[in-house]
Amino acid sequence: MKNNPFLFLATVLLLPTFLNAQNEGKKPISQPLVSHIYTADPSAHVFNGKIYVYPSHDIESGTKEDDEGGHFDMKDFHILSMDKIGGKVTDNGVALDIKDIPWAGRQLWAPDAAVKNGTYYLYFPVKDKEDIFRIGVATSKSPVGPFKPEATPIKGSYSIDPAVFKDSDGSYYMYFGGIWGGQLQRWKDNAYQGKTNNPQKGEVARLPRIAKLSADMKSFSEEVKEIKILDEKGNLFQEDNNDKRFFEASWMHKYKGKYYFSYSTGDTHNLCYAIGDNPYGPFTYKGIVLKPVQGWTSHHSIIEKAGKWYLFYHDVQISGKTHLRNVKVTELKYNADGTIQTIEAYK
């Protein structure tokens, strides 16, 4: 897209207008969780019976919009908490500031969190001083911080959107990656290729990544691997299948013994899911979790609380601007065969 300014204009500027027009006259099914700050990319977890949401904190930094998402120029994280869905939402203040991350350059993007033995781990992508996205980790004794970052990024990490999943056997895995501004296309066999073109039609779509975390939760215990998302015939998606192929925003949850890998298709704005039998996949594409929301990006998490399942997501209801988003939550339901009922964010 970078090499084709007309395609860039069409997809980045015109498509959201079209999608937003599709939703015109309809009402959102849920309201922003908070409105005093802009929040996005909600990674929700239940820790000690309470719900914690680890979102990006969108701001109007004044950075000009470009085709690598330079206007998503976030500088800190605020963690939200609530006792129950629909209950009072607390903003717990600044949990981590970019100025306290020694190796960070710019753009603190979508985080996630995990807990182990009473220590909370905040995982975050940020561009390093060479403008290359890496994934860092910070720790705290409290789920809402303040978090103390490690001096260097996680060795072997790259790209964006970490999602950390704890399996039933106590193992932790990190899923990550995002194309275009998320730079995943710059990496091949875990080696940096330098600035490359965005993936082109006719190519096999880029695949999300996984690595098991070490016991210390601050490093990978194995080499980063690709995870396969297959169509119903067992084939990998092509870049042309951009309404189904992986773009960014990985999430993993387990339901009735199956592994559900969900993700955003980016330029076609779907949140999709694929099911597998183990954390590494392969995963077979099953359908859409959430139809396109107002705005350009779509990013989510899925949790269970008190016997019900919930989808946390974002749109731009408050601002109408792609880079100033607000997080929301709605119930998610399964069919008897384990497939997910597609959610329409506006009715």
Which residues lie near ligand FUB (CB under 6 A)? 40-41, 56, 72, 109-110, 160-161, 178, 248-249, 297, 299
Amino acid identity of residue 50, one-letter, is K
Shortest Cβ 34–ligand FUB spacing (Å): 16
Catalytic residue among 41, 67, 161, 267: 41
CA distance 75 to 96: 9
Residue with tokens 């996005």: 40
What distance lies between CA 75 and its chain's CA centroid?
17
Closest CA to 325 of 308, 303, 345: 345
Identify which of residues 23 and 297 has a Cβ nearer to ligand FUB in the complex: 297
What is the closest distance, in whole angstroms, from the C-beta atom of residue 61 to ligand FUB in the complex? 13
239: left (phi over 0), alpha (psi -120 to 50) or beta: alpha
Task: State the alpha helices, DSSP H only, in the chain.
Answer: 5-8, 15-22
Identify which of 121, 118, 106 has the alpha carbon closest to the alpha carbon of residue 43: 121
CA distances from 333 to 46, 163, 218, 277, 289 (A): 18, 22, 34, 20, 10
Q: Shortest approach of ligand FUB to residue 291 CB, angstroms? A: 16
Judged by beta carbon, residue 72 or residue 312, the one nearer ligand FUB is: 72
> What distance in Å separates the CA atoms of residue 334 and residue 144, rounded to the nearest whole number?
31
Pick 178 or 281: Cβ nearer ligand FUB = 178
Confirm whether 150 is a catalytic residue.
no
Check 112, 248, 267, 315 and give the catalytic one: 248
CA atoms within 13 A on the CB side of 304: 9
For the question of residue 248 being annotated catalytic, the response is: yes
**What is the closest distance, in whole angstroms, from the C-beta atom of residue 41 to ligand FUB in the complex?**
5
Please tell me whether residue 24 adopts helix, strand or coil conformation.
coil
Q: How far is the CB of 264 from ligand FUB (least distance, A)?
A: 6
Closest contact distance (angstroms) between CB of 99 and ligand FUB is 19
Considering the complex, state which of residue 160 and residue 275 has its C-beta at the smaller distance from ligand FUB.
160
Nearer to ligand FUB, 13 or 215 (CB): 13
Nearer to ligand FUB, 178 or 292 (CB): 178
CB-nearer residue toward ligand FUB: 76 or 167: 76
- Which DSSP category does 173 fall into? E
Amino acid type, 250: S
Please state, in angstroms and rounded to a whole number, the distance separating the CA atoms of residues 41 and 161. 9
Evaluate whether 289 touches 262 at the Cβ level (below 8 Å): yes
Instruction: Give the CB-side neighbour count of residue 159, counting CA atoms within 13 A.
Output: 31
Closest contact distance (angstroms) between CB of 131 and ligand FUB is 15
Q: Hey, is 5 helix, strand or coil?
A: helix
Asked whether the CA dihedral 17, 21, 25, 30 is positive or negative, the reply is negative
Which residues are catalytic, by number? 41, 248
